[in-house]
Amino acid sequence: MLKSLADYIVFTLMGLTPGTHLGEALNFFIYDTIKIFFLLTVIIFVVAVIRSSFPPEKTKRILSHKRLYVGNVLAALLGIVTPFCSCSAVPLFIGFVESGVPLGVTFSFLVSSPMVNEVALIMLWGLFGWRIALIYIATGLLVAIVAGIVIGRLKMEKYVQDYVWEMQVGNGEIPVMSFRQKLDYAREYTTGLLKKIWPYVVVGVGIGGFIHGYAPQDFLVRYAGRDNPFAVPLAVLIGVPLYSNAAGVIPIVHALMEKGLPIGTTLAFMMAVTALSLPEAIILKNVLKNRLLAVFFGTVAGAIIIVGYLFNAIL
């Protein structure tokens, strides 16, 4: 139905010919924009209602004193439903470790929460289909679990800033929201998020549409195809500074995949965009000493690169 609407606008109302560069690029742009904004509005609202039942104060109580492995799996899963904003990373981190959540478990949460987020999932589902979206969730959780276990095993507690351990944390009696308040929260959250990301979506889909209509088929195969062993690490390196623009990056990546970017490289790139970011590193420097910060970035980047190679090899 959306497809025929986009066809109608471009080929009938605007009188462009199907099959031409401009016609195809514009058709792609209009179709994707309508679809994505529809999905974003509906799903962000639903996710926000669910999230209002999982404040971090509650997640912390669930994870407190959980052991390695079980704790890491739980933390990665809770990372999906607990709202997270990198601006509250510091109180969140202190609240977790102070209440006895093991360091490795805390990191599983810190990796999964931004990476397996609703915006990335909607964009993936809308553009790539549910299969890729599911693969992204599953491998994202796996990266978070493995990275957390590795960091937990390395026993790096002494590389947390010393003041964190001396902090006095209140017991966190946060009033529970009524259903009415949850809906208000969800509405506010949805409009706030849409206001923030819509320009990135439009620009991203625009560039994606341009690539779709104008770039020659398979033009990427030569540079970033399966045969280039450096493509995956390079994709991760490029992805790190692009944080918070997942909404804009995914449509571009989608078009690139059509032109021959392999699936593993694509996944690795998107994970690097969402999971690792320089602003987050700067914020986390308040609670982590340099060595732990480097181990955190290194472990996550390493796990993402392995995911990239793995999917390039098997799919």
Partner 1 sequence: MKIEILGTGCAKCKTLYENTKKALEESGKTGEVVKVEDIPTIMRYGVMSTPALVIDGQVKFSGKVASVGEIMGML
Q: Which residues bind partner 1 (CB under 8 A)?
A: 55-57, 60, 83-85, 87-88, 90-92, 94-96, 98, 167-175, 177, 184-185, 188-189, 192, 286
Q: Provide DSSP, 11-50.
A: IIIS-PPTTSHHHHHHHHHHHHHHHHHHHHHHHHHHHHHH
Tell me the closest approach of the beta carbon of residue 82 to partner 1, in angstroms. 9
List the Cα angle 305/309/313 in 5-degree steps.
Answer: 165
Report the 10 Å Cβ neighbour count for 17: 10
Smaller CB separation from partner 1, 61 or 259: 61
| Smallest gap from residue 232 Cβ to partner 1 (A) | 34
What sections of the chain are H helices per DSSP? 2-7, 21-51, 56-63, 70-81, 89-98, 103-115, 118-128, 130-153, 162-166, 179-214, 221-224, 231-239, 246-258, 263-275, 278-284, 290-314
Minimum CB distance to partner 1, residue 95 (Å) = 4
- CA pair distance 2, 8, nearest whole angstrom: 10
Q: How far is the CB of 188 from partner 1 (least distance, A)?
A: 7
* Beta carbon nearer to partner 1, 199 or 229: 199
Which is closer to partner 1, CB of 169 or CB of 313? Answer: 169
**Nearest alpha carbon to residue 287 among 113, 164, 110, 168:** 164
Select 129 or 199, whichever has its Cβ closest to partner 1: 199
Q: How far is the CB of 14 from partner 1 (least distance, A)?
A: 38
Q: Is the dihedral of CA 101, 102, 104, 105 positive or negative?
A: negative
Residue 298 CB, shortest distance to partner 1, in Å, is 26
Q: Which is nearer to partner 1, 7 or 98 (CB)?
A: 98
Of 29 and 96, nearer to partner 1 (C-beta) is 96
Nearer to partner 1, 31 or 189 (CB): 189
Which residues are within 8 A (CB) of 87 and not within 5 positions of it... i.e. 6 or more apart? 283
Q: How far apart are CA 24 and CA 217, in angstroms?
A: 14
Q: Shortest Cβ distance from residue 83 to partner 1 (Å)?
A: 6
